[in-house]
C-alpha cells in the first residue's frame, strides 16, 4: 500500500530594498546584481542593476518549517503583471511537485493590490478559483502584521520616535 502525504500551505512573498551592486561569482563565472525575473526579464532590463529582492516561500499549515522556492532581483518593486505571472508559475510548480498551495500571502502594497485585481480578488471575496483545480478555492491573504511593522518603521523614521 502506498500512502501519499499531501502538504497543504500557502505561498508567501515579500520584497526587500537592497543597495545596488555588481559582483562576479568565480565559481559560476557569472555576474550577479543585474535584474533577474527569469523568463519575464525584459531584454532592456538584463543590463540594469537591481535594487530589490523578491522572495517566494512555501509554508505548510502543519509544521514549523518554511521553504524558500525562488528569489528574484528587480529594479524598484516587481510590477503587478509580472508578479502575477510569477505567483501563478510558482503555484503550478509547487502543485506539480506534490505540495498543495491553498493561497497566497502578501503585504498590502499598491502593486500587490494590483495583483489581486488581476486575479479577480476583492475585499468582499478574497477567494478565486484555484489555477490548478477548478474545484478548489485559492485564497489571497493580507499580511497584516507586516503592515503594522512597516507603518511603525515609517513613523519612527519620519518623526525619529524611540520605540521600546
Q: Where are the domains of the chain?
A: 7-159
Catalogue the long-range contacts made by 44-48 (C-beta closer than 8 Å, 24 or more residues apart).
45/75, 48/75
At residue 146, does pLDDT exceed 70? no
Structure confidence by residue, pLDDT tens digits, 38-95: 898 888 888 888 888 899 999 999 888 999 999 998 888 889 999 999 999 999 999 9
pLDDT for the residue 127? 92
Instruction: From residue 5, give the alpha-carbon distance in Å to each of 20, 66, 90.
Output: 42, 17, 20
Torsion of CA 71, 141, 11, 32, to 10 degrees: 0
Q: For residues 125 and 47, what is the distance between their CA atoms, to the nearest angstrom?
A: 40
Q: Which residues contact 76 (CB under 8 A, 6 or more apart)?
A: 51, 52
Q: Is the dihedral of CA 106, 107, 112, 113 positive or negative?
A: positive
Q: Locate 152 and state its grid cell.
A: 511603525
pLDDT surpassing 90 at residue 136: yes
Q: Is the pLDDT of residue 3 over 70?
A: no
The CA-CA-CA angle for residues 70, 76, 82, to 5°, reads 50
Comparing 119 with 23, which gets the higher pLDDT?
A: 119
Place of cell 565559481: 27
Give the pLDDT confidence score for residue 43 in this predicted structure.
86
Q: In this predicted structure, which of 7-16, 28-37, 52-61, 137-146 has the lowest mean pLDDT?
A: 28-37
Can you give the pLDDT at residue 162?
Answer: 55
pLDDT tens digits for range 106-135: 988 888 889 999 999 988 888 999 999 999
CA proximity to 14, closest of 141, 118, 102: 141
Q: What is the pTM of this model?
A: 0.81
Amino acid at each position: 500500500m502506498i500512502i501519499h502525504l499531501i502538504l497543504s500551505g500557502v505561498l508567501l512573498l515579500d520584497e526587500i530594498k537592497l543597495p545596488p551592486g555588481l559582483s562576479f561569482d568565480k565559481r559560476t563565472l557569472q555576474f550577479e546584481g543585474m535584474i533577474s525575473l527569469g523568463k519575464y526579464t525584459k531584454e532592456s532590463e538584463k543590463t540594469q542593476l537591481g535594487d530589490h529582492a523578491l522572495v517566494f516561500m512555501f509554508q505548510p499549515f502543519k509544521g514549523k518549517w518554511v521553504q524558500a522556492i525562488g528569489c528574484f532581483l528587480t529594479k524598484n518593486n516587481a510590477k503587478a503583471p509580472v508578479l502575477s505571472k510569477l505567483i501563478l508559475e510558482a503555484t503550478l510548480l509547487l502543485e506539480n511537485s506534490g505540495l498543495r498551495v491553498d493561497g497566497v500571502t502578501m503585504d498590502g502594497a499598491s502593486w500587490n493590490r494590483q495583483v489581486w485585481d488581476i486575479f479577480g480578488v476583492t475585499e468582499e471575496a478574497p477567494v478565486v478559483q484555484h489555477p490548478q483545480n477548478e474545484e478548489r478555492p485559492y485564497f489571497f491573504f493580507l499580511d497584516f502584521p507586516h503592515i503594522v511593522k512597516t507603518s511603525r518603521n515609517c513613523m519612527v523614521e519620519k518623526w525619529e520616535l524611540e520605540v521600546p
